[in-house]
Homo-oligomer: A and B are copies of this chain.
Amino acid sequence: MRLLCTSSVVVFHLRTGVMMLHLVPRWSARLFWASPGWRRTYTQGASSRLKGLGCPRGLSSPLACRAYSAVAGSPEVMLTPERYPVERLPFSTVSEEDLAAFECIIPGRVITDPEQLQTCNVDWLKTVRGCSKVLLRPQTSEEVSQILRHCYKRNLAVNPQGGNTGMVGGSVPVFDEVILSTALMNQVISFQDVSGILVCQAGCVLEELSRYLQERDFIMPLDLGAKGSCHIGGNVATNAGGLRFLRYGSLRGTVLGLEVVLADGTILNCLTSLRKDNTGYDLKQMFIGSEGTLGVITAVSIVCPPRPKAVNVAFLGCPGFTEVLQTFRTCKGMLGEILSAFEFMDAECMQLVGQHVRLTNPVRESPFYVLVETSGSSAGHDAEKLTSVLEQVLNSGLVTDGTMATDQRKVQMLWALRERITEALSRDGYVFKYDLSLPVERLYDLVTDLRTRLGSRAKHVVGYGHLGDGNLHLNVTAEAFSQELLGALEPYVYAWTAEQQGSVSAEHGLGFKKKNVLGYSKPPVAVKLMQQLKAMLDPKGILNPYKTLPAQA
């Protein structure tokens, strides 16, 4: 396309009521530079959207990676049954004969070395730890099938594991479940360059798929902070949302087909690559978001959008949450089809990101910040649309200060401010994490409310998230885990959410840690039906037990 931007940052301020939008006339306005201080800061700090380093969500700098490795192997993470009231179900225990049988199925890929097992037994947030004695690394669906057939017959519980980047303890064993890793199932099976349909094994790392597609002028329809580690199978199993949801929608629309191995080892092949297929019930939907409790996803067919020719990111300061909402409304109305993300964070988030991951605020201090991204097919058109929006929000006082970037490096730098919040929080102390869907109008009220309620008991109460999707990430930090603080938070947060007809888990799922709060968002009839579905597909309950559904009365 003509008029492709090379590099551009627009800086604008509202000083003493006078808008100073530093723009040169439209068609030649695409070569700006930020103030030197801004650039210097970013050149030092940001790396999270740069080369993937194989680290979990938010921990993508080499420093973070080292810290993580140390932590993962750290013996001080309490065993799950010690912190949580959970009883082992009467599954069998892995025997020497079982190990021999696994070795027959996947020779050389049966791991029993305790050191190698440590990382797979602990979640990256260091909050839950299992004590599995065996990790299996199959390469094919046929191998997964044979493994499950054996486990089913022997009544051995199984914990399917992707990149182990989950937030709710769904991806590690609770007790001694056999860990079934998709890590070696990492092959792209096919890609159609007219339709953009990608078929691949479940263990492909999201960032590697993104790189593969980028070379072919496509992108993945989802993007997450954890992209350097998370597996596409895990993304589908948890119905991951993330940063592109606003534009490309749910995996329920973009996933076209799945291959799944059922609890008894049966291979269910629904790996179609068709945009439309109304032949019978859409079985794959049962497995999307079921967190490995109904079957093990072994391959995925997904439709990928063409790579946008132009991406613009604006980072803006807003004087209040009302102005954040009005800015969102303006963006939706004026940017229309090119709006690809609308994220927000509060001043405390910015403070933590500055303190713990040393990113500098590129705009004047404000109570709120929003990140607006456009992705489109014409750099010129998109810049024109975004500029109109920015003029309007500045003129009307919705935004007091902002900066805009179009070249990839600076776009990544602005995104880092938002993406590295998780990491900054985890460095602030123990984190109580909530991932809620709420009506946008009420989205921030809970944060304010909790600050008053918790007072000095909390170190920080912060709110950020995917405003465009009505998705609030509410996080409370403290020096250490405290039962008293937990008591002040729960069930208060869940009841507050339920009162707004919200969801107590917007995108993180329920896993182990949230399974008992399902009832706040789903009626008893629905919970009962879910239990029936589980019983139908996994009658012995061997797949990812203790997860997703509350224990049956």
User: Which of A207-215, A343-351, A376-384 touches B?
Assistant: A376-384
B530:A283 contact, CB within 8 angstroms: yes
How many copies of this protein are present in the complex? 2
Indicate which residue in B245, B337, B517, B523 contacts A338 across the interface (CB closer than 8 Å): B337
B276:A501 contact, CB within 8 angstroms: no
A335 contacts chain B at the CB level, 8 A cutoff: yes
Indicate which residue in B277, B280, B294, B525 contacts A266 across the interface (CB closer than 8 Å): B525
Q: Which residue of B lies closest to A437 (CB)?
A: B274
User: Which of A117-125, A247-255, A354-362 touches B?
Assistant: A247-255
A553 contacts chain B at the CB level, 8 A cutoff: no
Indicate which residue in B276, B285, B440 contacts A282 across the interface (CB closer than 8 Å): B285
Indicate which residue in B270, B306, B375, B440 contacts A526 across the interface (CB closer than 8 Å): B270
- Chain A 240-263, CB within 8 Å of chain B: the 1/0 string? 010001000110111000000000
B378:A510 contact, CB within 8 angstroms: no
- Least CB distance from A443 to B in Å reads 11
A419 contacts chain B at the CB level, 8 A cutoff: no
CA distance A270 to B521 in the complex (A): 9
B503:A279 contact, CB within 8 angstroms: yes
Indicate which residue in B249, B309, B525 contacts A249 across the interface (CB closer than 8 Å): B249
Known: A381-B378, A510-B280. A536 touches B532 (CB 8 A): yes
B529:A268 contact, CB within 8 angstroms: yes
A396 contacts chain B at the CB level, 8 A cutoff: no
Indicate which residue in B376, B508, B520, B529 contacts A278 across the interface (CB closer than 8 Å): B508
A298 contacts chain B at the CB level, 8 A cutoff: no
CA distance A195 to B273 in the complex (A): 31
B249:A253 contact, CB within 8 angstroms: yes
A253, A309, A325: which has the most chain B beta carbons within 10 Å? A253
A92 contacts chain B at the CB level, 8 A cutoff: no
- Least CB distance from A413 to B in Å reads 25
Indicate which residue in B267, B375, B508, B522 contacts A525 across the interface (CB closer than 8 Å): B267
Indicate which residue in B195, B336, B527 contacts A280 across the interface (CB closer than 8 Å): B527
Q: Which residue of B lies closest to A217 (CB)?
A: B333
Known: A282-B289, A336-B309. A471 touches B529 (CB 8 A): no
Known: A281-B289, A337-B376. A270 touches B381 (CB 8 A): no
CA distance A254 to B35 in the complex (A): 42
Indicate which residue in B280, B325, B381 contacts A384 across the interface (CB closer than 8 Å): B381
CB-CB under 8 A from A533, the residues of chain B are 281, 283, 536
- Least CB distance from A132 to B in Å reads 25
CB-CB under 8 A from A507, the residues of chain B are 276, 278
A63 contacts chain B at the CB level, 8 A cutoff: no
A278:B510 contact, CB within 8 angstroms: yes
CA distance A266 to B194 in the complex (A): 46
A470 contacts chain B at the CB level, 8 A cutoff: yes
A269:B525 contact, CB within 8 angstroms: yes
Give A505-538 interface residues, CB cut-off 8 Å to B: 505-510, 517-518, 520-523, 525-527, 529-530, 532-533, 536
A404 contacts chain B at the CB level, 8 A cutoff: no
A273:B501 contact, CB within 8 angstroms: yes
Give A318-347 interface residues, CB cut-off 8 Å to B: 325, 328-329, 332-338
CB-CB under 8 A from A441, the residues of chain B are 194
CA distance A548 to B279 in the complex (A): 8
Give A260-319 interface residues, CB cut-off 8 Å to B: 266-270, 272-283, 285-286, 288-290, 294, 306, 308-309
A270, A274, A530: which has the most chain B beta carbons within 10 Å? A274
CA distance A273 to B469 in the complex (A): 11
Q: Which residue of B lies closest to A381 (CB)?
A: B381
- Least CB distance from A151 to B in Å reads 19
CA distance A517 to B278 in the complex (A): 12
A372 contacts chain B at the CB level, 8 A cutoff: no
Q: List 28 A-B contacts (CB under 8 A).
A: A192-B439, A194-B325, A238-B278, A239-B282, A272-B503, A276-B469, A276-B471, A276-B503, A277-B503, A277-B506, A278-B289, A278-B508, A279-B517, A279-B521, A279-B522, A280-B518, A280-B548, A283-B533, A285-B285, A306-B333, A334-B377, A336-B377, A336-B378, A337-B375, A337-B377, A378-B385, A381-B381, A536-B536
